[in-house]
Amino acid sequence: MPFTIAIDGPAASGKGTIARALARHFGFAHLDTGLLYRAVGAMGGDPVAAARALVPSDLDRDDLRSAEAGQAASRVAAIPEVRAALIDFQRRFARTEPGAVLDGRDIGTVICPEAELKLYVTANDAVRARRRALELGDDEVRILGELRERDARDAARAVAPMRPAKDALLLDTSEMAIDEAVAHAIASAKEAGA
């Protein structure tokens, strides 16, 4: 039976880095579910039609990591029909043998509530803004404002708001080096039976 790891949390908290490291460590498949929404937002036009037509190769676009794609993702993710169109894709992926790691904002609460391990990765706003500014080579103050705006929108949306699952383990990476955060996540996965 596949082992599913659901990782949620706000942007630049470290969830993607931790998810990729867990997938490598355990030999699991990895899906950054935010790329689904980024791809839909970047495609333009009718977001519902774009979500229904999405194919895996759409996730390989070079522009999906931009700040603009992140803002577009947050806007289209608030559309219930877009979310519905992408749920089956994500749930099928989650049951990949021998296991899968999915990271996003509603994996443990909506997509994979039955996941064998749920982590909620977070960090304080200033740390997240610094990380994202370094990643994008952009202005930290502007990034901080965008992160806060996106977090507020994602936490307040009526459908699948960003929040930790009741049984998620909280991993605050504000004061952690990445190796330490990954080690905590690997230990948690082993304890859960990975």
Q: Is 11 annotated as a binding residue?
A: yes
Q: Is 123 annotated as a binding residue?
A: no
d(CA 51, CA 79): 11
Helices (H), 27-169: 34-43, 47-53, 67-77, 80-94, 125-136, 140-156
Q: Is 145 annotated as a binding residue?
A: no
Q: Is 13 annotated as a binding residue?
A: yes
> Is the separation of the CB atoms in 111 and 85 below 8 Å?
no
Q: Is 17 annotated as a binding residue?
A: yes
Q: Is 137 annotated as a binding residue?
A: no
Q: Is 15 annotated as a binding residue?
A: yes
**Of 174, 186, 60, 181, the residue nearest 123 (C-alpha):** 174
CA 90 to chain centre: 12
Q: Is 14 annotated as a binding residue?
A: yes
Q: Is 10 annotated as a binding residue?
A: yes
What residues does 3 pair with on adjacent strands?
A: 99
Binding residues for ATP are 9-17
Residues annotated within a binding site: 9-17
